[in-house]
């Protein structure tokens, strides 16, 4: 992954550009010390002067009103908040007319930011005050008073707290309770810029000491960057929270959310004072000290699935390659490619206007359908359907491009993370954003039976803890659909969705990441230094069986925050903390056994167990045979794992109950 940087030849601003912000995925506003407000259009690469402000108007910060799906006058949302060096903040409409100017601070007003829900705004100034204002510019409260200037302040994603800098420490101040303050020393130098991501709830800070650091909301340091020679002047999270960008003097660095660097560019732009991501997370704009506005696209995103690999080589070009037949092709799209998903024998490409579904067997003839809005934040694939997350909402399509369902549960899809939503072959699960203990599971219409979207049966599951990550099993009939969830304590639970009384069964604790196998009901989880595979998650009713059917393998130096990408044929693909991918064979035979069982081939399954002679495998077979009422097989298997009481029980059953009934 890397940035492809483009600038106009001549700087359009005379002097310093201080702030940039995206209007939508095509339009950028920028404002600089030449008092001009410029609007850039990336599609036809033109730049128009919206307005020229008076001569004493030196902007410090600019923020566009957040795009939220609330009703009301659209005109009211088209406003820009600009703070200036004379201590005022201005509300400017998109035509450049100053609608309101409010005297907010003594000295310069350094930060002005709308709250994420659009209800208010905060300003921070050189006088050390942080103030919250209503949308109309009436002072609500002065949150912070101090004697050192506040160089940066941001809202928390849920608008309930404010993070601000105080010298070289960071402070989180809750709005509702006045005494709850989290404060920690973050850097050796002055902190110049901070960012808070809604998706992963992590805080990013950049300082004059040349470091950028990632923090969680308790002030624990997650990662620290290498030391830069010059002060970090800007940091920005991508909307999805999987990347961030760091700007410094003549330097722009793209990093993974774990802190390691994807790429580093050294454009000769002077300090980069501000970086803004577009809402689709594929483009960014940067304000440079030499009057340039820098635009960058993320290219070279690579995806692999089985023997296919695709790579975005340009803004509109994707190279796909079949490694076995050594076929390769370059696919050109009419618009900019935003999202790519590869899997389940399909490649789904979302561009600004359309979505293309390529079958991997014949990738030259895609199925195409139009998108509602050009800001796709995520594409999920399952065996039979695709889920596309747009700002307008979630939609589930079949691979033929037919809309199957568009579930609604009052969510804000742009802040929906990959962990919070999971797609199964016939179900979609999502964590409620308001109450994160609640999980919605939507049944999707499958096959030829098309239900109207109204009678989508929704199952609501309530866990006792805040849920952080969910995953739906990918195989099996809908009645046996299982949901694995990781809660706030990193405990792993499995629940069968369609049970009349859903029971959350705990499988393990201290699990960092989970993933279901695509073809069987094999669940693999990641601990800090080991990988665990639960071959029969439904055996968890009996703890001894669960222990017998669990495979664990120790892995050293997984790094911090590793994730499981996928399981294929018992081989887990693990993305380690440093970004390298580890292929770990953990449950090859169990997965093969599971496949046999799914196909109802008990003789090959028995043969496999007899050949391999592994206790875990025998245990799996025993449990599965027991669950599938294959008593002879179960008897043999239980005998081999020394579960003699079970053997006796089976023998008793077989002697007393006619064979015919048993096989049913």
Partner 1 sequence: MSYRDLRNFSEAMRVLGFPKPISLESFRTPNWELLEECLRWLAARVEPDAELGGGRHSVEQRVALVTHAIALFHSRANIKLNGKRVYGADGYAVREMMKVASLLRSALESPSTDDQQHENTPMSYDFSSRLSEIKQARALATDITAQGAFLYDLLAKEAENKEQREQALSRPLDMSAMEASLRRALDAVAAKVSSGREQIDNVAASEAALDAKLERKRAELMRAEKRLHTVQKIKPAYQGELTALETEIEQLWDQYVLRYRCVEALKHQLSVLESAQAEAAEEQQAAIMQLIHKYEAEDVLGKLSDSDDMDSSDDGKDLSEVKQPRPATRPKTRLRIKTAGTAAAEARRAFGSMAARDSLDEIRDEDDSRSDSDFSDKQGFGDLSISRKGPAASSEARMMSAATAFGGGDMPSRWSRSRPRPATRTLATADDDEFADLIEGVESGEAGDSLGSSSESELRVTSARPSAAPGRVSALSDNEF
> For binding to partner 1 (CB under 8 A), which residues are involved?
16, 33, 58, 60, 85-86, 107-108, 110, 126, 148-149, 151, 167, 189-190, 192, 208, 230-231, 249, 270-271, 289
Burial class of 470 by CB neighbour count within 10 A (0 to 12, 13 to 18, 19+) = buried
Helix (H) or strand (E) holding 142: strand 139-144
Nearer to partner 1, 270 or 579 (CB): 270
Nearest distance in Å: CB 270, partner 1: 6
Which residues on neighbouring strands pair with residue 63, listed in sequence order? 81
The 10 Å CB-count burial string (b at 16+, else e) for 336-360 is bbbbbbbbbebbbbbbbebbbbbeb
Closest contact distance (angstroms) between CB of 273 and partner 1 is 8
Calculate the alpha carbon distances from 473 to 440, 495, 536, 586, 620 in Å: 15, 10, 12, 18, 18
What 3-state class would DSSP assign to 105? Answer: coil
What residues form DSSP beta bridges with 153?
164
Q: For partner 1, give the closer residue by CB, 289 or 355.
A: 289
Closest to partner 1 by CB, 207 vs 475, is 207
CA distance 338 to 323: 25
Q: Is-contact 271 248, C-beta < 8 A?
A: yes
Q: Please identify, using beta-carbon distances, which residue of 129 and 277 lies nearer to partner 1.
A: 129
CB of 210 to partner 1, least distance (A): 8
Beta bridge partners of 531: 526, 553
* Minimum distance of partner 1 from residue 195's CB (angstroms): 18
C-alpha span between 339 and 336 (Å, rounded): 10
Residue pair 401/407 in contact (Cβ under 8 Å)? The answer is no
Taking the complex as a whole, how short is the minimal distance between the CB of residue 54 and partner 1, in angstroms? 15
Token digits for 72? 């009301």
Tokens of 190: 């002055």
Rounded CA gap, 354 and 561, in Å? 34
- 142, 128 Cβ separation under 8 angstroms: no
Q: Which residues of 582-594 are buried (b: 16+ CB within 10 A; e: fewer)?
A: bebebbebbbbbb
Instruction: For the CB of residue 208, give the shortest distance to partner 1 in the complex, in Å.
Output: 5
Nearer to partner 1 among residue 108 and residue 419 (C-beta):
108
- Residue among 110 and 532 whose Cβ is closer to partner 1: 110
Task: In whole angstroms, give the CA distance from residue 400 to residue 346.
Answer: 11
Name the 3-class secondary structure at 619. Answer: helix
Name which of 61 and 426 has its Cβ closer to partner 1: 61
Q: Is 262 helix (H, G, I), strand (E, B) or coil?
A: strand
Taking a C-beta distance cutoff of 8 angstroms, is the pair 187, 210 a contact? no
User: Which lies closer to partner 1 via its Cβ, residue 126 or residue 426?
Assistant: 126
Q: Quote the least distance from Cβ 263 to partner 1, whole Å.
A: 23
Could you tell me the smallest distance in angstroms from the CB atom of residue 375 to partner 1?
33
State the nearest-atom distance from the C-beta of 145 to partner 1, in Å: 17
Q: Looking at beta carbons only, is 25 or 233 nearer to partner 1?
A: 233
Q: Which is nearer to partner 1, 86 or 373 (CB)?
A: 86
Q: How far apart are CA 242 and CA 262, in angstroms?
A: 11
What the block records as the tokens of 78 is 């088209």
Residue partners of 254: CB distance under 8 A and separation at least 6: 1, 2, 3, 243, 244, 245, 261, 262, 263, 264, 298
Distance from C-alpha of 664 to C-alpha of 648, rounded to nearest angstrom = 20
Give the shortest CB-31-to-partner 1 separation in angstroms.
13
In angstroms, what is the minimal distance from the CB of 60 to partner 1?
7
Is residue 30 a contact partner of residue 38, using CB atoms and an 8 Å limit? yes
Output 112 or 619, the one with its CB closest to partner 1: 112
Q: Compute the least distance from the CB of residue 62 to partner 1, in Å.
A: 15
Q: Which is nearer to partner 1, 109 or 419 (CB)?
A: 109
Q: How far apart are CA 164 and CA 246, in angstroms?
A: 18
DSSP 8-class letter at 417: -
Angle, vertex CA 576, rays to CA 570 and CA 577, nearest 5:
155
Pair of tokens at residue 368: 């195409």
In whole angstroms, how close is the CB of 289 to partner 1 at the nearest point?
A: 5
How far is 638 from 619, CA to CA, in rounded Å?
7
Q: Which is closer to partner 1, CB of 249 or CB of 649?
A: 249
CA distance 271 to 529: 41
Neighbours of 400 (CB within 10 A): 8
Residue with smaller CB distance to partner 1, 230 or 328: 230
User: Looking at beta carbons only, is 169 or 453 nearer to partner 1?
Assistant: 169
3-class SS at 181? strand
**Least spacing, CB of residue 231 vs partner 1, in Å:** 6
The nearest distance, CB 85 to partner 1, in angstroms, is 5
Nearest approach in angstroms of CB 107 to partner 1 is: 7
Tokens (6 digits) for 531: 């990988």
Task: Rank residues 84 and 279 by Cβ distance to partner 1 and give the closer one.
Answer: 84
CB 532 within 8 A of CB 552: yes
User: How far is residue 438's CA from residue 421's CA, in Å, rounded to a whole number?
Assistant: 12
């Amino acid at each position: 992954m890397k940035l492809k940087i483009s600038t106009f030849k001549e700087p359009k601003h005379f002097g310093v550009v201080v702030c940039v912000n995206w209007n939508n995925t095509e339009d950028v506003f920028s404002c600089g010390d030449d008092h001009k407000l410029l609007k850039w259009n990336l599609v036809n690469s033109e730049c128009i002067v919206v307005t020229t402000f008076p001569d004493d108007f030196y902007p410090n910060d600019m923020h566009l009103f957040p795009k939220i799906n609330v009703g009301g006058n659209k005109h009211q949302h088209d406003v820009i908040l600009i703070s200036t060096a004379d201590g005022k903040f201005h509300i400017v409409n998109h035509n450049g007319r100053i609608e309101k100017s409010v005297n907010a601070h003594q000295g310069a007003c350094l930060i002005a930011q709308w709250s994420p829900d659009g209800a208010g705004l905060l300003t921070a100034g050189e006088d050390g005050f942080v103030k919250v204002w209503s949308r109309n510019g009436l002072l609500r409260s002065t949150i912070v008073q101090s004697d050192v200037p506040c160089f940066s302040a941001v809202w928390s994603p849920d608008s309930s707290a404010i993070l601000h800098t105080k010298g070289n420490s960071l402070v989180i101040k809750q709005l509702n309770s006045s005494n709850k303050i989290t404060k920690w020393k973050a850097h050796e130098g002055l902190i110049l810029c901070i960012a808070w991501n809604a998706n992963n709830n992590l805080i990013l800070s950049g300082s004059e000491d040349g470091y950028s650091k990632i923090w969680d909301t308790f002030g624990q340091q997650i990662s620290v960057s290498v030391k830069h020679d010059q002060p970090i002047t800007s940091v920005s999270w991508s909307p999805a929270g999987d990347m961030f960008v760091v700007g410094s003097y003549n330097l722009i660095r793209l990093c993974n959310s774990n802190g390691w660097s994807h790429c580093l560019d050294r454009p000769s732009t002077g300090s980069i004072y501000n970086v803004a991501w577009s809402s689709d997370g594929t483009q960014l704009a940067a304000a440079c000290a030499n009057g340039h506005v820098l635009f960058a696209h993320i290219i070279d995103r690579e995806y692999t699935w089985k023997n296919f690999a695709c790579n975005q080589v340009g803004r509109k070009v994707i190279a796909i390659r079949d490694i076995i037949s050594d076929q390769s092709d370059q696919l050109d799209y009419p618009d900019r490619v935003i999202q790519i998903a590869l899997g389940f024998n399909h490649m789904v490409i979302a561009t600004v206007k359309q979505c293309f579904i390529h079958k991997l067997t014949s990738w030259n003839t895609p199925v195409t359908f139009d998108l509602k809005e050009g800001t796709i934040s995520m594409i999920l694939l399952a065996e039979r359907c695709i889920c596309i997350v747009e700002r307008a909402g979630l939609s589930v399509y079949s691979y033929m491009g037919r809309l199957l369902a568009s579930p609604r549960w009052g969510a804000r899809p742009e802040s929906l993370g990959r962990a919070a939503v999971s797609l199964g072959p016939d179900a979609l699960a999502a964590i409620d954003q308001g109450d994160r203990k609640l999980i919605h599971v939507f049944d999707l219409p499958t096959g030829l039976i098309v239900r109207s979207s109204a009678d989508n049966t929704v199952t609501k599951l309530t866990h006792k803890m805040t849920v952080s990550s969910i995953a739906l099993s990918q195989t099996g009939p809908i009645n046996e659909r299982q949901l694995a969830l990781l809660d706030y304590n990193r405990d792993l639970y499995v629940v069968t969705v369609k049970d009349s009384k859903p029971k959350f069964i705990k499988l393990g604790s201290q699990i960092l990441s989970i993933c279901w196998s695509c073809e069987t009901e094999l669940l693999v989880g990641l601990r800090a230094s080991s990988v665990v595979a639960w071959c029969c998650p439904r055996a968890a009713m009996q703890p001894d069986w669960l222990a017998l059917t669990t495979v664990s393998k120790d892995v050293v130096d997984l790094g911090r925050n590793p994730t499981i990408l996928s399981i294929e044929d018992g081989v887990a693909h693990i993305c380690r903390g440093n970004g390298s991918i580890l292929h770990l064979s953990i449950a090859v035979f169990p997965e093969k056994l599971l496949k046999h069982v799914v196909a109802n081939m008990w003789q090959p399954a028995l043969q496999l167990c007899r050949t391999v002679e592994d206790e875990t495998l025998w245990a799996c077979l025993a449990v599965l045979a027991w669950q599938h009422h294959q008593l002879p097989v179960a008897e043999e298997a239980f005998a081999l794992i020394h579960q003699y009481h079970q053997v006796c029980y089976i023998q008793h059953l077989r002697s007393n109950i006619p064979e015919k009934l048993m096989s049913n």
